[in-house]
Amino acid sequence: MIFRTFFTNSFGILVSRIFGFVRDLMTASVLGANIYSDMFFVAFKLPNLFRRIFAEGAFTQAFLPAFTKSRTKGVFALKVFVRFFIFIAFLTLTVVLFSPFVTKIFAYGFSDEQISQTAPLVNINFFYLILIYIVTFIASLLQYRSHFATTAFSTALLNIAMIISLLLSDTAHPEDTVYYLSFGVVAGGILQALVHIYALKKTKMMPLVVGALKYRKTHQDDPSERKKFYKNFFNSVLGGSTVQLSAFIDTWLASFLAVGSISYLYYANRIFQLPLALFAIALSVGIFPRIAKLIKRKDESEAIKLLGKGFWILAFLLSLSALGGIMLSDIIVKILFERGSFSANDTIVCAQVLSMYMAGLVPFGLSRIFSLWLFGFERQKEAAFISAAALGIGIIFSFILVYPFGVVGLALANSIGGLFLFIFTIRAFGVKVFFGIIRSKKLILLICALALEALMLIFLRKLLYVYL
């Protein structure tokens, strides 16, 4: 079961990320790393920040355990959906009305002219948040039915829409190209929502929603269930937003640095996110419903065994990916982005940023899987304090390292925050239980695999430099 759901999610994410890299490759070629790319990435980051904080991260972590335990699942889900939809619609309207002010907050180092040029892009991109909330809500219902494929593959639709928008922009001025990209984001969100509605029907979950609409007055849910869910959601907003808030701080600080710094962070982070999504997110999404059900049945020993299997899968995949990403960072960036408006100097800086990001891949990925234990027991408040503490440490290091190391220091601070997140999460999970998991011959095998990979990468670097 664990391998089937993992490979389903992982393959779907891989397909989506391939299209994502094609999108990024085209974006780098057309826009490069300049003020126009910085403007679009700021506008695109805003809805993605709120999406990951309010929708994907916090919502799913709080909703799925509560939905599993609810006695009136349909009515509970309907009331939660409506209230969140109203809140997100209000948030979107507020951002649209005050977009120059909001843009200034996220890119304080931008000039007034750059703010006025970026604000309309923020207006367009932010409508993606409403669409992706609908996607996230339906995806949570599909996860309950152990259906992961639609959500895993659907992100490809966003990337395809943005690729088409770049093709349509053709030889347009970069100022016009960023508008094409922004409308492509909204089009991608519409496509994602449509395929999820179709999947809801195919998995026979639609009667649950329709029945809730019909019987919402005669079949009342337990108010205490919703109250507990909202409490857990609020705590999960902090618990699930460490990476996102750190990215916001990085963008804010990078806006004071040389032009292109925001773009370097974006391009490098996109590469960093590939193994994180492909392995850590795919696995955690796949096993979380199973862990929640085991904990509900009070079968903690089986839940720990499942976490142990997940740990070793991630330990191997993430460690090998991190070592490869660090040793081949310049080659990876050169192959992916160095063409068109993206220069050789851009490659050097972006590769340094990528190396610092990859240093935090293992702790970020492993902390994600062990946090499932806290979410399964509805210990979102504890997870929130852990994330807040790690975030605070990361922010402190961002301010310390940005002056001597610039944009590279921001990426390093992000990884330091990830290390503390892992340490705090393991402490909450249980240090003795954790050492019981890693006290295995697999640890020796992992060390040997890393040593062998390092030798292979040294040879590969020499070989690639001959042809590049």
Half-sphere exposure (CA, 13 Å, Cβ side) for 142?
A: 25
CA atoms within 13 A on the CB side of 280: 24
The whole-model pTM stands at 0.72
Mean pLDDT throughout 413-425?
93
Is residue 214 over pLDDT 80? no
Per mean pLDDT, which of 198-202, 213-217, 292-296, 354-358 is the most reliable? 354-358
Type and span of the H or E element at 187? helix 174-202
Residue 298: the pLDDT is: 82
- H or E element at residue 176: helix 174-202
118-132, 291-305, 351-365: least confidently modelled range: 291-305
Query: What one-letter code names the amino acid at 43?
Result: A
**Model confidence pLDDT, tens digit, residues 452-466:** 999 999 988 888 776
The tokens 């094609």 sit on which residue?
A: 22
CA distances from 465 to 144, 197, 287, 331, 459 (A): 49, 48, 41, 8, 10
The secondary structure element, H or E, covering residue 109 is none
Count CB neighbours of 427 within 10 A.
Answer: 11
- Residues whose CB is less than 8 angstroms from the CB of residue 111 and which lie 6 or more positions away in sequence, other chains included: none
Q: Any residues with CB less than 8 A from the CB of 1 and at least 6 apart, and which?
A: 290
pLDDT tens-digit profile of 256-268?
887 788 888 988 9
Residue type, 50: F
Angstrom distance (rounded) from CA 276 to CA 270: 10
Token duo for residue 155: 């992100």
The pLDDT of residue 450: 95
Q: What does the angle CA 178 – CA 180 – CA 181 come to, to the nearest 5 degrees?
A: 65
79-137 pLDDT per residue, tens: 888 888 898 899 889 988 998 888 888 777 788 888 888 899 989 998 998 898 888 88
What pLDDT shows up at residue 201?
84
Cα-based distances in Å from 115 to 102, 312, 411: 10, 46, 25
pLDDT of residue 215: 55
